[in-house]
Amino acid sequence: MKRLRCLIQNLTVSTVLLAAALPLSATDINVFAAASLTESLKQIAAAYEKQSGDKAVFNFGASSTLARQIEEGAPADIFFSADEAKMDSLEKKGFIVAGTRKARLSNSLVIIVAKDDGAAVSSPKDLAEPRIKRIALGDPKAVPIGIYSKEYLQKLELWKTVEPKVVATESVRSALAAVEAGNADASFVYKTDAAISKKVKVAFEVLVTEGPKISYPVALVKNSKQADAARKFLDYLGSEDAGNVFRQYGFIVLDSCNKK
């Protein structure tokens, strides 16, 4: 009986010590993020959860769709956009906490074709050729990748010729999937998206100096229900550890203190 009491006491002490070592309460942080950030943010969040106990719950999609959802009252704590325009819109309407916005990342555009028996494309001019029938592209009226691509093609005076071939998609990942499935001859995607696919190849890469200025801003949403936890994760996204992961996936990491 004495041994049993000692065993129970030891187990109780161990349980108390273990509980003391764990976070008092884990928090779910709702992060609305551009689809192109999917793999990098999942890896960053996994490391952060081990460190803090808090969990990032992601809603990935086109930045335009995410911004609209936030306006309509969706429970978001952090917004990570693939362009400044969507963040501008939310900030002007009072949905973003002042002083928390940072331009964190940049990217570059590439033209992709199917890896096996893909269309013969070596420059943007080839997209204007009659042999190229369908070009998958994030909706140029709303989706950042489409807006960036249209801007670049307009600069080259190719947009009017290419536009009739464009099949608008809801996000950059949908455009990527269309080329992977053989439903489009080519597409403009971010360099980081092309890198994660084994079914496409880069036919042409737009130099950063020649392409549109691509910027990924991140900020705390004003109606956040987990503001303290969200601020801590926002700070972690600006850390060197997070920056190293973003670089690993091919993003251009901007100064973590660079605020708009």
> Residue 164 gets which letter from DSSP?
G
Query: How many Å apart are CA 12 and CA 127, to the nearest integer?
Result: 70
* Shared-domain flag, residues 97 and 144: no
Predicted structure pTM score = 0.86
pLDDT of residue 26: 86
Question: How many structural domains is the chain composed of?
Answer: 2
In a domain, 2, yes or no: no
Q: How far is CA 226 from CA 32, 38, 140, 230, 250, in A?
A: 14, 22, 34, 6, 30
Nearest to 25 by CA among 219, 226, 237: 226
Instruction: Characterize the bridge pairing of strands 28-34 and 78-80.
Output: parallel
Task: Summarize the confidence of residues 146-174 as an average pLDDT.
Answer: 98
In CATH, what number is assigned to the domain containing residue 185?
3.40.190.10
pLDDT of residue 10: 45
Q: What is the pLDDT of residues 133-150, one digit of tens each?
A: 999 999 999 999 999 999
pLDDT confidence tier of residue 193, bands split at 50, 70 and 90: very high
* Shared-domain flag, residues 125 and 170: yes
Percent of the chain topping pLDDT 70: 88
Q: Label residues 131-159 b or e (16+ Cβ within 10 Å = b).
A: ebebbbbbbbebbbbbbbbbebbeeeebb
**Please, what is the end-to-end C-alpha distance for the chain in angstroms?**
69
* Shared-domain flag, residues 78 and 141: no
Domain membership of residue 133 as a residue range: 109-205
